[in-house]
Amino acid sequence: MGVATSMIGQTFLNFLFSNKTTKNKTDQKLILEEEKKILLSIKKNSEPIKHTIGIFRVQNLLNEVYGLIEPHIESHNIEFLYDIHESIPIEIVGDILALEQILYNLLSTIVESQANSTIIVTFKKINESVLIEIIGNHLIHKEILNENKQNLETTKQLITQIESKFSMTMGQSNVIYSISMPFLAHEQYQEKYYQLPPYIGSKKILFIEDHPHTQEIIGNIFKQFELKATIGNADTLSSIQNFEAYDMIILNPKRLTPSLTTHLKKLKEQHALKIISLETLYGWYKDRRQQNNPLITKYLYKPLSRGMVSGLLHEMFILNVDENLSINEYTEQSKTSNKNQIVHIEESLNITPESFKDFGSKHILLVEDNILNQKIIQNILEKSHIKITLANNGQEALDILKDEDSIDLVLMDINMPTMDGYQATKHIRSNNMLSNLPVVIISGLGFRNEIEEMYIVGADAHLTKPFKIGELYTVLKLFINKKYTKDVVSTLTYEYIENRTILDITKAMDKVKNSTYYHDSLSEVLFVFKYSEHIIKERIIRQEYTQLQEYCRKLFNYTKSIEAKSLNKILKEILILLKNNEEIHLQQYITLYKDEWLETKRNIEHYLESVEVS
């Protein structure tokens, strides 16, 4: 199967992967048996990876892998960069599923030694080969190499299976993994390199970034596009007097002082200056859809690539799309007349799986290569009696559409082997019989350039994982022709008697507005905290205060997300004692924590048993 990037699958797998980063041997032993059970469960419900040669975009491949290692990147404070050379076309041919697995295996090993450092993944064409390099600025600890020896051997075998070569170079202060694979092109799908109209070269851009590697990579990209760009750091920004000379400024919003903000606001109004907020895409539980900031024209997320910069320039200086179009403003006229408009799907409130019975007679084609993601959407819709036809890639979708004329809506993943969402949507729109068939894309990380390109080829709207079931309901309501005469109300009822001092379910549900998501979060907490009373006890007794602080901070964030009030209070008190160097009082918290966790656990289990979530 492909890599899991769904709301439920991603949150679960992110935690599973984070277990592997634990340095404490006791922690690893305590979770080992449970981890094995879960891995076996995944294998039983999954198909083995099928080695299939197909066309894929390097940008999409790296986005998928980044989604998997994102928790490592954040926890280790790593600057993670793409460096896709100009010699690599938009699309190449290879085994994308095998490459995803290979890159994840190598990165999950190398990241362990790269705290507060930089990792660069490069793609470049040398003669008739594609050279992929993973470069870390720190050496890999021998202990980590030994722990991952079997993983590396398995990865080498997988590299051999795709007729590629592998090498590892350990320098004085860095490590380089190298994979050399045959460069293959397919004439039917081979697209041109990223190109922009000549007049874009007259645009002047100011790019402010403190990290030197990012400066170098983005500088090369601007040179490829023959752009007049000034690249510098915070000192460069403070020395600039004439911001009127620029058409676009790209910078971290933390660099915007009150006086600079006032000045740029005037320039934006008077000279249509485009101000781009450059940020790092961190944290699966964080809402990546930014709140509106009137000063910011667009949000751009690192790691950057040629494709993302091309998409930014295309939008800012060619498309001029309306970023503020909402579902309430979305009309049939705009649907058919302008495929470049970005539709922001608003969430329908109080939606449960039963709500989808409103669409019970309809037929959806779900185009998704990941089995887990297929199961999740099927589970959400199983009570609705909606007919769901599955396609594992774009080509399968086209084959189904040739013979099936009852499809009302296509949910299309972007990143798939054999044929991706871009190509499949192009083919659908080129067919007169299918030109009006609604196509809603599903984007893994929500990178803006991915979404924009899908609109350009003809998509009607998009959902970004993890999407809420209220957003899925809105999509169906918007694009499946049916009139609704009743209000949508929640049919979720449960017998659980809520004790808000222990588990404030009302407040938590008010935040997430998604019972399935909250149910999954509670299940995850039961797994994360399973041995927590033993781990905390051991670390207090052994006076491992640094590890205790790190561990309790992690648990504290979990309790905050599910509104476990009393347990959150105990963890906060432990963290305060550690911060104030008052470790002498920690002994009493061995019993206090254990009692509070067991009570919270009973409440979680009671709630999960009394609520049916599909």
pLDDT by residue (tens digit) across 350-361? 888 888 888 888
Which three-class secondary structure state does DSSP give residue 38? helix
d(CA 276, CA 549): 37
Higher pLDDT, 542 or 220: 220
d(CA 70, CA 288): 13
* Mean pLDDT, rounded, for 252-261: 86
> Domain for residue 187, yes or no?
no
d(CA 154, CA 35): 19
Q: Does the model's pTM come out above 0.75?
A: no
Domain identity same for 122 and 146: yes
- SS3 helix, strand, coil % of the chain, rounded to 5? 50, 15, 35
CATH number, domain with residue 379: 3.40.50.2300
pLDDT by residue (tens digit) across 16-49? 333 333 334 443 343 334 334 433 443 444 445 5
Domain identity same for 25 and 99: yes
d(CA 484, CA 358): 8
> Domain for residue 190, yes or no?
no
> Domain for residue 175, yes or no?
yes
pLDDT given at position 90: 77
**Does position 320 have pLDDT exceeding 60, yes or no?**
no
Domain identity same for 38 and 64: yes
Please give the biggest Cα pair distance in the chain.
76
Confidence band, pLDDT 50/70/90 cuts, at residue 192: low
Strands of the sheet with 204-208, listed across from one edge: 228-232, 204-208, 248-251, 274-280, 298-302
Domain identity same for 151 and 18: yes
pLDDT by residue (tens digit) across 337-346? 344 456 667 7
When the pLDDT of each residue in the chain is averaged and rounded to a whole number, the result is 76
Q: Please, are residues 196 and 313 in contact by the beta-carbon 8 Å criterion?
A: yes
Domain identity same for 161 and 212: no
Of 158, 182, 206, which residue constitutes the final position of a domain?
182
d(CA 441, CA 416): 12
**Does position 587 have pLDDT exceeding 90, yes or no?**
no
* Mean pLDDT, rounded, for 352-377: 82
> Domain for residue 539, yes or no?
yes
* Mean pLDDT, rounded, for 6-11: 35
CA dist 118 → 52, 74, 174, 212 (Å): 32, 12, 10, 10
For the residues of 382-439, what is the DSSP string, one character each? TTTT-EEEEESSHHHHHHHHHH-----EEEEES--SSS-HHHHHHHHHHSTTTTTS-E
pLDDT given at position 444: 64
CA dist 97 → 62, 94, 366, 368, 390 (Å): 12, 9, 19, 13, 19
d(CA 91, CA 100): 15
**Does position 9 have pLDDT exceeding 80, yes or no?**
no
Confidence band, pLDDT 50/70/90 cuts, at residue 465: low
* Mean pLDDT, rounded, for 278-303: 65
d(CA 535, CA 371): 35
> Domain for residue 492, yes or no?
no
**Does position 13 have pLDDT exceeding 70, yes or no?**
no
Confidence band, pLDDT 50/70/90 cuts, at residue 123: very high
Domain range spanning residue 399?
332-479
CATH number, domain with residue 119: 3.30.565.10
Domain identity same for 138 and 12: yes
pLDDT by residue (tens digit) across 515-573? 777 887 888 888 889 888 888 988 888 888 988 999 999 899 889 888 898 899 999 99
Cis preceding-peptide flag for 303 (omega within 30 of 0): yes
Domain identity same for 599 and 518: yes
pLDDT given at position 290: 43
Confidence band, pLDDT 50/70/90 cuts, at residue 131: very high
- Of 147-151, 372-376, 509-513, 597-601, give the range with the top mean pLDDT: 597-601
Higher pLDDT, 589 or 292: 589
Confidence band, pLDDT 50/70/90 cuts, at residue 126: very high
The percentage of residues in the chain with a pLDDT greater than 70, rounded to a whole number, is 77
**What is the amino acid identity at position 301?**
Y
Mean pLDDT check: name the lowest of 150-154, 283-287, 416-420: 283-287
d(CA 590, CA 259): 51
Domain identity same for 399 and 436: yes
> Domain for residue 192, yes or no?
no
Higher pLDDT, 63 or 41: 63
Domain identity same for 65 and 165: yes
Domain identity same for 131 and 213: no
Structure token digits, residue 418: 């054999």
Which three-class secondary structure state does DSSP give residue 500? coil
Mean pLDDT check: name the lowest of 291-295, 300-304, 330-334, 457-461: 330-334
pLDDT given at position 342: 60
> Domain for residue 484, yes or no?
no
pLDDT given at position 186: 62
**Does position 582 have pLDDT exceeding 80, yes or no?**
yes
* Mean pLDDT, rounded, for 87-111: 85
Q: Please, are residues 205 and 316 in contact by the beta-carbon 8 Å criterion?
A: no
**Does position 602 have pLDDT exceeding 50, yes or no?**
yes
Domain identity same for 42 and 85: yes
pLDDT given at position 530: 83
How many domains does one find in the chain? 4
> Domain for residue 495, yes or no?
no
d(CA 59, CA 487): 43
Q: Distance from CA of residue 115 to its chain's centroid?
A: 21
457 - beta bridge partners?
Answer: none
**Does position 508 have pLDDT exceeding 90, yes or no?**
no
d(CA 120, CA 66): 12
54 - beta bridge partners?
Answer: 94
Domain identity same for 94 and 207: no
* Mean pLDDT, rounded, for 80-85: 90
* Mean pLDDT, rounded, for 111-119: 86
**Does position 285 have pLDDT exceeding 80, yes or no?**
no
Of 269, 298, 319, which residue constitutes the final position of a domain?
319
Of 319, 347, 375, which residue constitutes the final position of a domain?
319
**Does position 364 have pLDDT exceeding 80, yes or no?**
yes
